[in-house]
Structure 1
Amino acid sequence: MGPGEEGAAGRRQYGRASLSFTDFIAIDWSGQAVERPKGLAVAHARVGTAAPELIDRPWSRRDILEWLRHLADRGVRALIGLDLSPAFPFRDEGAYFPGWKRSPPDGPSLWRLVDELSSADPHLAATSFVSHSVARRHFRQRGDCGDLFPPGRGRFRVCEHGQELLRLSPYSCFNLVGASQVGKSSLTGMRVLHQLRGKLGLWPFDSAPEQGPVLVEIYTALPARLAGMRKGTSKIRDPQALDALLDAFDSKPHLPLSRYDDHATDAILSAAWLRHAADDKALWNPPALTPELARTEGWTFGVP
């Protein structure tokens, strides 16, 4: 199979195969370099209309990695959304890291490089990668803006431009500064994706399996916007607001939570949306998703 053909095959297969998911899982991710980040949250929905349930426990990234492996071993037909970017921009410069001989040619190679260079970091963090003498030149970090980080907001993937057309506010994965940055989450997620290779496939980098779980990239602000949350409001922190948004995805009201932070509510609403959207074959075949992008940048599920 030649370069790009695997991703293209995956998109065509999703267009014609029966998806038939039984479980829908949304994971709000975190790049915090501690064992149990407060931002990790997991919600689980099943076929039907019952509201997703928050799997409320002090998760670590290692816990989630092992839990996903267990789902794969059991063959659970789950659609699993990860709130992170699985790759850096590629198309704009023809490389993730222009001028670096070790710059990988595709997503899986990128995940392997990040994991290898960060192998000594505890808790599946990626501090060593962004401290690497060459890699760091591409990132904006607190007190250290690399000389290859372009002026302005930084580089963006093609699907992130699509997010902007949906009136979302994506951040460059090369930006590691600020409360809304996603770069640290994405880098730690790449380590997990590498360690899951051979167990779970990530759309659209991989062909669609006929059985077992499937991973997709999600942007948790998208379900909220689709459910009617107005632009400028990004947090769901009370039960009434959560139930009103769940209703837009044909979900019954949720069971009371012990906490109403935006990580928990984002995960619950995203799981309901995944169940609502999973059979929309247009979402699995966005017109702008080329074989090259499927191999290098990936795509955010739900972005047309």
Structure 2
Amino acid sequence: MITLAHISDLHLAPLPQVAFSDLVGKRLTGYLNWKLKRHGELNTETLTRLVAHMREQNADFTAVTGDLVNLALPAEVERAGEWLKLLGESDRIAVCPGNHDAYVPGALDLAVDNWGDYLKGETLEGETFPFVRRVGDLAIVSCSSAVPTPPFLAVGKFEEKQAARLDRMLQILGDAGYFRVVLIHHPPNAELQHPSFGLKGHRIFRKVIANRGAELVLHGHTHRSSIHHIPGKDHEVPVIGVAAASSAQGGTLDDPARYNLFRIEKVGNGWSCTMREYGFQRIGTDIVMRMQMRIY
């Protein structure tokens, strides 16, 4: 049996020292949003407690589906790299980037350089994404939907070239009998699309999954716990989102901080997979198992 933990949207706080010269373009609106609202709803104490609880599970692998930072300032990116080292060794952790990690042009390149092996794996055509990590019968495929956007937009993008590489990877991994988990920050299902924060290319992504199949798709971005499905090659594929890992209780928009733990095991010619959701309730101070369900 293999255990896979899923955590997302860390939004590491507090912000580092911000110079007036840093607040150009989108970073200005992001900074104001943080100061006026988000700093009270996303906090370090919540994240620290949740991660400590998650680490006690001793998962074989951890998937982090983006938004480690807020404004993608160089000091934030560097701090996120140090945080990843505290979370665990890079051979047991894979990151897919979120829109905040690519907040302005050049930010994602800085993250790739700084976070090193946490954002690397087996690739095709020498491109950074998607990349693959393999642990026993489990294959984690990390895609990127992270692109810089104008102020007031948080959309992602998934294009044909990345889709072609994902298609080939899923075919190879499927033929080899792996349990394939695809990571992408923005949700790809039609129910969660929006002009301001949806995924451009969501139909392209779903077409690949429909043609080649996968066993799970994991995402973040919405700051909500959610379970949807999209068509796969042989069966419907669960698409599972998780609440922001730093989301404090009492927020007006987000679910309280949570993480998911999957237990995956080969059973004959098929799979057994159960999911447990752990996290804070809206009332009470304890981290509890909120839900358990069988995926396969």
What is the TM-score with the length of structure 1 in the denominator? 0.26
Structure with the largest fraction of strand: 2
What is the TM-score with the length of structure 2 in the denominator? 0.27
